[in-house]
Structures are given as C-alpha cells and as structure tokens.
C-alpha cells in the first residue's frame, strides 16, 4: 500500500473510531491486553496515542504545531478541540494523517 493510500485508510479509520488500538483489538480477542505496549499500565486508546503516550512525543509535537499554526486557540489542546473540524478541516485532517503515518503504529 502506498503512503497516500495508507494515510487515507488510517484517516478513515480514525474518523470512525476504528483505528486498531490495543483496546479495540482486545475487544475482539485479537490481542491479550488492551494496554499500551510502551507504557504498560495505560490502556492504548486513540486519545492515549494522540495525547499521552511518550512513544509518540515527537509526532505529537509536530501535530500540535501544525494545528496551532492555523491560529486556533493555543491553550486548548483537549481531544475535543483537536478533533473540532472547522474551516481548517482539510488541513487538520492532513496533519492527523501525517501524525498517524509518523507513529508507525498501524
């Protein structure tokens, strides 16, 4: 799968909350634990990957920079705010796509 196609697939799964995190995979008995393999004690959810996991610190900083460059509210980095698709929706979605590709998790 080429990078553009892979990015589109990741973005689609992200938008319908179906990225294959350990939480989701565990729900379908595909993996034995829902926890993050890197953090061990934290459940691996999309918000864990986007906001908390230290493994993805660098891609997260890049994502936040790209979103903040859109002149949105700099102080609000909540998941709700990050996912708010406003007039900059296309740019934000491309930033998320880049984030997930950079993570090399999926």
Binding site residues, Zn ion, CB under 5 A: 36, 38-39, 53
In the complex with Zn ion, the residue whose CB is nearer, 23 or 92, is 23
In the complex with Zn ion, the residue whose CB is nearer, 44 or 97, is 44
Backbone torsions φ then ψ of 35, nearest 5 degrees: -80, 155
For residues 63 and 101, the answer to whether their CB atoms sit within 8 Å is no
Name the residue among 60, 56, 103 with its Cα closest to residue 68. 60
Q: Helix 57-68 to helix 89-103 angle, to the nearest 10 degrees?
A: 170
CB of 42 to Zn ion, least distance (A): 5
CB of 8 to Zn ion, least distance (A): 25
Instruction: Report the alpha-carbon angle 49-80-102, nearest 5.
Output: 30
Biggest CA–CA distance in the chain, Å, is: 42
CB of 50 to Zn ion, least distance (A): 11
In the complex with Zn ion, the residue whose CB is nearer, 39 or 101, is 39
In the complex with Zn ion, the residue whose CB is nearer, 52 or 88, is 52
CB of 98 to Zn ion, least distance (A): 19
């Amino acid at each position: 799968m080429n990078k553009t196609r892979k990015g589109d697939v990741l973005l689609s799964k992200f938008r319908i909350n179906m990225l294959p995190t350990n939480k989701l995979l565990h729900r379908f008995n595909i993996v034995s634990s829902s926890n993050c393999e890197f953090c061990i004690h934290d459940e691996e959810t999309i918000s864990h990957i986007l906001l908390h996991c230290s493994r993805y610190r660098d891609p997260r900083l890049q994502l936040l920079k790209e979103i903040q460059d859109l002149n949105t509210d700099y102080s609000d980095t909540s998941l709700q705010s990050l996912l708010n698709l406003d007039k900059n929706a296309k740019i934000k979605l491309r930033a998320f796509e880049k984030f997930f590709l950079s993570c090399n998790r999926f």
